[in-house]
Structure 1
Amino acid sequence: MTETIDLADEQALGPLVANAFGDRYFFNLNRHAFDKLGAAALFETKFGDLLFRENELNIIVGTDSGLLLRYLLSKPLPKGTRYLFIEPDRVLQALRIHDLLGEANERIACAGPEEWLRMLQKFKAADYFYIDAVKSVNALCAQDDFIDEYAELSWHVAEVLSQFNWRYSAELGSEAFIARQIANAPDNRLPAKLMAKAFSGKTVAILAGGPSLDQALPWVIQHRQQCVVFAVSRISRQLLAAGIEPDFVFSVDPTDLSFDISKEMLNFSEKTVFVCSYHTVPTLVSQWAGIMLYLGARFPWQSDLNSNNLSSAGPTVTNTALNMAYEFGFSQIILCGVDLCFTREGFTHARGSDEQLAGPRFNLTSLQVETNGGYLAPTSCDFAQAIQSLGRQAHLLSRNGCRIVNVAEGAAKIEAVEYRPLDLLQLDAEPVDVGAVLAERLALISDLNRDLDKVHAELKRAQHQVRAIAKLAANARQINDAMYQSEGTVVSFKDKKSLDQIEKKFKREHRQYSRLVKKFGIRSFIKLAKPFDDEEWSAEEARQLGNVYYDAYAEGANKLLNLIDAAIDRVSARRQEQSEHPDFALMLEQAKKDRSYGRVKLWRRKFGGGLLSAEFADAFAEMERRYMEVLTDRNTKHMARAKSHSNLAAVKHRAGLLFKHRKLAELQDLLAALGKHERQQEADCYRFLIEGYLAELQDRPEDALDAYQRLVDLGGGLLEEALARIAAIGVNHEDDQTARLALECLSQLNPVYLPLYAEIQRLQHDVVAAIDSYAAYIEQFPQDVLVQMKLAALYGECRIYDGADLMLDYVLQQQPGHEPALALKQRLAELRATGPD
């Protein structure tokens, strides 16, 4: 029996079927998705116009047996848009064999997991990333993933595209970074260069959010006076819980998500110094009540207020902290919680973090890295990139005399970073007085009171320049639109000369600010510079080209102007905070607009209660209430994202992949991770599945059957997986009754199993039942010639020659000249002629 039935591979994709609408697809990829609606109608319902937007690059995981690809081929494709489909290798091979990918099209391609990145380059993906026009979509087959191959592919694609998106945004000098820079200008008052070489020869511990931080915190508490403590802002919650206040806390991310994961840092006392990039999210910057040092330039244009400052090093906040440790003069840098990989159970961050509270991460790809302990640990694409960048940075710093040590055995092994356990570290004998060093350096600052006046003047100067650019762009747009005749020729060369003069003003009188304006209209300018279609511009398009060009200028100018106007308002509010008779109404209005309710702490410290009327006392109290509400809210977007990574639905796919590749240790880790999930009752079914997989890999068939039977008793979404494994164990161990019973149940769940059920019935000499099972299958899948041939052969074995002839005639009607059918028909004719032996 084991030579006849292979449950692991047979019918993996299912038969090629056709529905009532004429759509052909592999049954196991989509099952009943196209039963009630044809593919085209279903795609229109599910995707709408999502796939038909101009100038986009769509990365689509799965093709729905080629139907989604051919659906696009049947439609007029939007201008400048391309489509890259990605299929698992065996699916792609089957699609090509059965010619299901349609005709070739230069803007649509289908690739496997190993070649899709090369196709990205061919499709000029960089151009699309630059205009934020790359999106990832899962086809219906990838959303359902009945074959357990799309999940990891989808996770991998999403991670890689996220990395590309970050890289290209950074290359452009993303709008978000410049927008934050302008917003923070009133508050970025002390450059980090003040602390250059302030701690020469000393030791610093950099605390990050990896799982190993939990083991390092007791050591930090014990040796708190012997080293300076740097901490990334995301671990503030854990540090407060442990009673640790860092000397310096770091943040660099411009996104609102960064505030969600870092807001607890606002609870540190004034002893902690905040070191932030010029583009750090303003809700952290504006609500910080202590000393703050900024990195980089204060303004995104040339200005006397842009000091020769220290710069942050990307891509992560840990890179920045490491660079500042070197710039501040430390000779020994101890990394704690800088893991850049996950625990074996799938935990990505230390206890108390959103990620840890959400549960272990189950949507892990097969990407692994070597740890300091010599074993492999799972990681993500962004962590893998960070390992490389940190290695390059550590190599450079170590050459300049810095010793960099990581104390975690489970952390990723990094070039030029020495692994050394905590108990072997050597620290400074004398305590470090950070407060005294800081006071000495701050004493060098003079004329800080006039700083806001200078910032206000700088912003007003920029405002004047950008307003002039916006006016010129609007004027140029009108001239360009009126300059062409209907056929596209130029009517007035005088108008052309006027446009040339405007262009010279952009480049000469407003050169610096024109470049900045272009950064805010960059996505439109890129479309002009590198059109995605290779077609020649028509006369009308040539006219429109000029309009788009000046519209891009106007768009960029207006965006920039809004930011500058808002920054001027912010400076006005900060000036009131320095006034002896402040305008509290203006201060409150600005703080509400900026969602910076925490500024009330500064106001309380400066003004006390003496200047407050009852009205403003109530307003201050309301600000404090809203501030505490924000700080204590755990139901954030970041927590929701963390929980999505710990979705139990991903366990089935990950467990199936690990079992398929016989990854025993990783399955054991996954089982351990399930034991730490917050919803234990819901996890039971996945636990039984993994226990069964483990028992099979360890050659314990009875234990495996017991685990799968418990899963069958539970019912639910994993019933098919359990029955398939029970059937496989029955086949492999020649337990006919177990295999037959499991296949009977399976064939009722999924008709794809009917041929397997028929085969085992035949082997057990229940020929009539086998014929019935084959017939039931063929009734549902009348195009599966292979099964039709098996039924014809079975008829022949039973000397039911009329039935065999009918079946073979049906096969030949579908495929005239089918050689196996003709050969079997000839063989059966000979047997019928000679009669029984």
Structure 2
Amino acid sequence: MTETIDFADEQALGPLAANAFGDRYFFNLNRHAFTKLGATALFETKFGELLFREDELNVIVGTDSGLLLQYLRSKPLPKGTRYIFIEPDRVLQALRNHDLLGDADERIVCVGPEDWPRMLQKFKAAEYFYIDAVKSVNALCAQDDFIDEYAELSWHVAEVLAQLNWRYSAELGAEAFIARQIDNAADNRLPAKLLAKAFGGKTVAILAGGPSLDQALPWVIQHRQQCVVFAVSRISRQLLAAGIEPDFVFSVDPTDLSFDISKEMLNFSEKTVFVCSYHTVPTLVSQWSGTMLYLGARFPWQSDLNSKNLSSAGPTVTNTALNMAYEFGFSQIVLCGVDLCFTREGFTHAKGSDEQLAGPRFNLTSLQVETNGGYQAPTSCDFAQAIQSLGRQAQLLSRAGCRIVNVAEGAAKIEAVEYQPLASLQLDAEPADVAATLAARLAPAAASYQDLDKVEAELARARHQVKAIAKLAANARQINDAMYQSEGTVVRFKDKKSLDQIEKKFKREYRQFSRLVKKFGIRSFIKLAKPFDDEEWSAEEARQLGNVYYDAYAEGANKLLVLIDGAIDRAAARRQEQAEHPDFAVLLAQAEKDRSYGRVKLWRRRFDSGLLPAEVGAEFAEMERRYQDVLNDRNTKHMARAKSHSNLAAVKHRAGLLFKHRKLAELQDLLAALNKHEQQQAANCYRFLIEGYSAELQDSPEDALDAYQRVVDLGDALLEEALARIAAIGISHDDAQTASLALECLSQLNPVYLPLYAEMQRLQHDMVAAIDSYAAYIEQFPQDLLVQMKLAALYGECRIYDGADMMLDYILQQKPDYEAALALRRHLAAQKISG
């Protein structure tokens, strides 16, 4: 039986199907997607204008059998927009073989997984990233992924693009980072340099959020008095649950998502020192009521208030904590929870984190790294980059005399980082007295940094400069707009001279703030370079070019003014906090505007509650209530994102990939992960499917059949996968009854299995049924010549020569010179004669 049925090859991409609208597609890629609607109507419904925005780079996984690519070619493409389609290798080859990709187009390419990074370079992806105009899109076939080849590809593409977007955004001078710097100007008072070399020769433990943190916490509790503890802010929830307060807590991320991850740090006592980058999310900075040290410059322009300071090392908060450990003078740095890879079950973070509570991550790519224990562990693109950056940093610090140790066997192996189990660590005989060091270093300096009047003056100076730039830009825009005739020539050269003078002011008189304004209008300025279109500027475009240039200046200036005005208001509110008789209305209004309800903790300490007006006391109480609501809210955007990584729908694709590549250990890890998922009943069908795959790889067909039968009994979305494996086992073990029953069910679920079922019926000598099955298939897929040939041969085998001749006539009408059909006709003619 195994010689006559090649199950995997027959299933493959399925036959080429055609619908009533003339669309041709591989049936197994798109199934019934195009049955009721033609491709054009369906794409317009599903994608709308998403793919037709100007000056964008679209990276699209899948082509829907070439139909999505052809759809784009049939439309007028938007100016400056490019398209990179990515197909799995065997799909790409099939599309080429059947000429479904159409003619080449300089703005649209279709490549395999190995070639798409090269196409990013060819299409100047950097310019698109600079204007935040790169997006990944999944074609319909990739969204459904009936062939288990698109899932990992789309996960990988999304990860790579996210990393590239982060990198290019950072290269731009990062508008978001500067915005946060201005937001935090009134609160960034004590520079971290005050603790430079304060802990010479001592040991520090850096606690991060990797899964191995769970094993390290008992050791931290036991040796809490023997080493200084640094913690990244995202593990605050776990530390509080364990009864651990770190000496220093670190945060650097400017995004609101960072607040969701880290907000529990606000529950630490005043003993903990907050070390943050100048651009840390303001909702953490403004609500911290203890001592805070900032890294980097206070203002994003030259200022006397920008004292020399320690800088934040990126890209991650762990890099920053490691750098501060060196700058503060520690000679031994112990890394706990710095894993940068996942557990074998797919857990990415320690217990108690959003990621762990959401469940194991199932949308993993095949990317793996070597661990300290010598085995391979899954990781992500961003973790892989962090491993490299941490390795480079560790090499520099090691050469400077620091010893860096990672205590986790399951952590990624990093260059210049020693692996040493916790039990063999040697700690300081005389541990550091953190409280005494802080008192000696920070108390004398604290008074001199209460300089809010100077901060307000500095912000006012900046506001004056930026307003002048905005005024010049508006004036230049008017001059430029009136300067050209309709054909594009300059009417008055006096106006051109005025514009030259304005440009000189930008570059000389307002040079420093002009550069800053440009950073806020950078995406508009980049468009002026016209990286996406090689055509010459028309006369009208020449006029528009100048308008875009000055509009970019105005846009940047206005964005900057909003931030500066907000910072001035914030500084004024902070001054009220220091006043003997504060204006509580100002304090409350600013806290409401900034969503910094936690400042009420600081007010409670500064103002005698007995002297507060009754209405103010009531508002304080309301603010405290809202503050607790924020801290207690677990339904955050971050939790939603974490749950999306643990979506059970991804299990089918991952399990299929692992089975195809015969990765038994990883399949068993995936099974262990499912056993820890919160939706155990929903996970059952996936569990049984993986048990079946594992049994097959261990040459236990009976156990595999038992597992697959459990999936069938549940009768849910994995029914086709289970029946397909049952059929395959039946075929490979000459169990005709099992194979036939499975194929009968499969052919009812998916007509692509009808030829296989027909072949099984033929082998069982049920020729009439086999002919009916072939005919039912051909009725749905009239272009499949191979199956038509099989039916013709079957007619001949049954000596039904009229049927064979009719089938061959039909084939030769489509392809008159089809040698296989001609040869079969000759053979059948000879058979009749010999008869």
TM-score category, normalised to shorter length: over 0.9
Q: Give the corresponding residue for 1:590.
A: 590
- Structure 2 match to 1:424: 424
Q: Does 1:466 align with 2:466?
A: yes
Is 2:395 aligned against 1:395? yes
Which residue is 1:223 aligned to?
223
Give 3-state SS (helix, strand or coil) of 1:294's partner: strand
Q: Call closer, same or farther: CA 1:446–1:206 in 2, change over 3 Å.
A: closer
Deviations 1:66-103 (A, max 9, x none): 00001000000000000000110000000111111111
Displacement of 1:5:
1.2
Measure the CA separation in 2 of the matches of 1:470 and 1:170. 26
Which residue of the partner structure matches residue 663 of structure 2? 663
Which aligned segments of 4 or more residues in structure 1 are displaced greater than 4 angstroms? Answer: none
Distance in 1, matches of 2:331 and 2:38, equals 68
Q: 2:119 aligns to what?
A: 119
Name whichever of 579-588 and 819-828 sits farther off.
819-828
Contact 2:189 / 2:449 at 8 angstroms: preserved in 1?
Answer: no
C-alpha distance 450-200 of structure 1, shift in aligned 2 (>3 A): closer
Counterpart for residue 564 of structure 1: 564
Distance 1:792 1:746 in 2: 24
2:614 alignment counterpart:
614
Structure 2 counterpart SS, 1:662: coil
Is contact 2:127-2:531 (8 Å) kept?
A: no
Quote the residue 2:758 is aligned against: 758
CA distance in 2 between counterparts of 1:512 and 1:738 reads 79
Contact 2:202 2:431 in 1 (8 A): no
Which residue of the partner structure matches residue 602 of structure 1? 602
Counterpart position of 1:43: 43
SS for the counterpart of 2:59 is strand
| Contact in 2 for aligned 1:127/1:530 (Cα 8 Å) | no
Query: What does 1:430-829 align with in structure 2 at a 5 Å threshold?
Result: 430-445=430-445, 447-448=447-448, 450-829=450-829
Corresponding residue for residue 131 of structure 1: 131
- Structure 1 residues 388-428: Cα deviation after superposition (integer angstroms, max 9, x where no partner): 00000001100110000000000000000000000000000
Partner of 2:91: 91
CA shift, 1:446, in A, is: 6.1
Show the counterpart of 1:149. 149
- Preserved CA contact (<8 Å) 1:181 1:279: yes
| CA–CA separation in structure 2 for the residues paired with 1:559 and 1:211 | 41
Secondary structure, aligned partner of 2:374: coil
Structure 1: how far apart are the matches of 2:351 and 2:446? 43
Q: What is the SS of the residue equivalent to 1:468?
A: helix
TM-score, reference length from structure 1: 0.99
Shift of 1:574: 0.3
Give 1:448 shift: 2.9
Partner Cα distance (1:793, 1:719) in 2: 32
| Cα drift, residue 444 of structure 1 | 4.0
Shift of 1:6: 1.8
How far, CA to CA, are the matches of 1:739 and 1:446 in structure 2? Answer: 80
Q: Contact conserved, 1:80 with 1:533, CA < 8 A, in 2?
A: yes
Give the 5 Å matches for 1:300-311: 300-311=300-311
Q: Deviations over 1:630-665 (max 9, x none)?
A: 000000000000000000000000000000000000
Tell me the amino acid that sits aligned with residue 605 of structure 1: R
Greater CA drift, 789-798 or 514-523: 789-798
Corresponding residue number in structure 2 for 1:282: 282
Unmatched tracts of structure 1, length 5 or more: none
CA distance in 2, matches of 1:448, 1:10: 79
The answer as to whether partners of 2:278 and 2:294 remain within 8 angstroms in 1 is yes
Task: Tell me how far apart the structure 1 counterparts of residues 494 and 7 of structure 2 sit (CA, whole Å).
Answer: 79
Three-state SS of the structure 2 residue aligned to 1:346 is coil
- In structure 2, distance between residues paired with 1:297 and 1:688: 57
Percent sequence identity over matched residues? 87
CA contact (8 A) 1:316 1:386 kept: yes
* Secondary structure of 1:231's aligned partner: strand
Partner of 1:5: 5
SS in 2 for 1:52: coil
Superimposed CA distance per residue, residues 697-739 of structure 1 (whole angstroms, 9 cap, x where no aligned partner): 1111111111111110100100000100000000011000000
Q: Give the partner amino acid of 1:518.
A: K
Residues in 2 aligned to 1:531 and 1:132: alpha-carbon distance in whole angstroms: 14
Matched residues in 1 for 2:104 and 2:536: separation?
22
Q: Distance in 2 between matches of 1:414 and 1:447?
A: 43
Distance in 2 separating the partners of 1:377 and 1:589? 50
- Distance of 2:336 and 2:62 partners within structure 1: 41
- 2:755–2:774 CA contact under 8 A, matched in 1: yes
Q: Distance in 1 between matches of 2:193 and 2:171?
A: 25
Could you tell me how far 1:8 is from its partner in structure 2?
A: 2.0
Match of 1:350 in 2: 350
Question: Equivalents in 1 of 2:701, 2:17: separation in Å?
Answer: 35
2:242 aligns with 242
Deviation at 1:611, TM superposition (A): 3.1
Partner Cα distance (1:751, 1:459) in 2: 71
**Partner Cα distance (1:500, 1:402) in 2:** 55
Query: CA offset at residue 11 of structure 1?
Result: 3.0
Compute the displacement of 1:447 (Å): 4.9
**1-structure distance, mates of 2:384, 2:443:** 42
Secondary structure of the structure 1 residue equivalent to 2:631: helix
- Cα deviation for residue 833 of structure 1 reads 2.4
- Secondary structure of the corresponding residue to residue 224 of structure 2: coil
Q: Between Structure 1 and Structure 2, how many residues are aligned? A: 835
Contact 2:190 2:449 in 1 (8 A): no
Which is worse superposed, 822-831 or 219-228?
Answer: 822-831
The secondary structure found in structure 2 opposite 1:445 is helix
Matched residue type, 1:9: D
SS at match of 2:91: helix
Shift of 1:173: 1.2
Deviation of the 1:830 alpha carbon: 1.8
Q: CA deviation at 1:828?
A: 1.2
Paired amino acid for 2:196 = A
SS in 2 for 1:430: coil
Which string of whole-angstrom CA distances, capped at 9 and with x for unpartnered residues, describes residues 146-187 of structure 1? 000000000000100010001001111111100000000000
Residues 54, 78 of structure 2: 8 Å contact kept: yes
Code of the residue aligned with 2:20 in structure 1: it is A
Deviation at 1:10, TM superposition (A): 1.7
1:832: how far off? Answer: 1.6
- CA distance in structure 2 between the partners assigned to 1:443 and 1:381 by the alignment: 43
Q: CA deviation at 1:823?
A: 1.2
| Cα distance in 1 between the residues matched to 2:247 and 2:621 | 30
Deviations 1:424-473 (A, max 9, x none): 00000113210110111114416536510111010000000000000000
Q: Tell me if structure 1 keeps the 8 A contact 2:344–2:378.
A: yes
* Residue number in structure 1 paired with 2:175: 175
8 Å contact from structure 2 (residues 791, 807) kept in 1: yes
> In structure 1, what is the Cα distance between the partners aligned to 2:98 and 2:561?
58
d(CA) in 1 for partners of 2:372 and 2:834?
76
Q: Deviations over 1:527-575 (max 9, x none)?
A: 1024311111111001100000000000000000000000000000000
TM-score normalised to structure 2 length: 0.99
Any conservation in 2 of the 1:130–1:168 contact (CA below 8 Å)? yes
Report if the CA contact (8 A) 2:189-2:450 is conserved: no
Contact in 2 for aligned 1:326/1:397 (Cα 8 Å) = yes
Q: Secondary structure at the match of 1:576?
A: helix
Aligned counterparts of 2:199 and 2:433: Cα–Cα separation in 1? 10
Letter in 2 for 1:785: L
The CA distance in 1 between the partners of 2:156 and 2:622, in whole Å, is 46
- After superposition, the CA RMSD in angstroms is 0.8
Instruction: Letter of the 2:424 partner, please give it.
Output: L
Q: Could you tell me how far apart the structure 1 residues matched to 2:268 and 2:11 are?
A: 61
Q: Which runs of 5+ in 2 are unaligned?
A: none
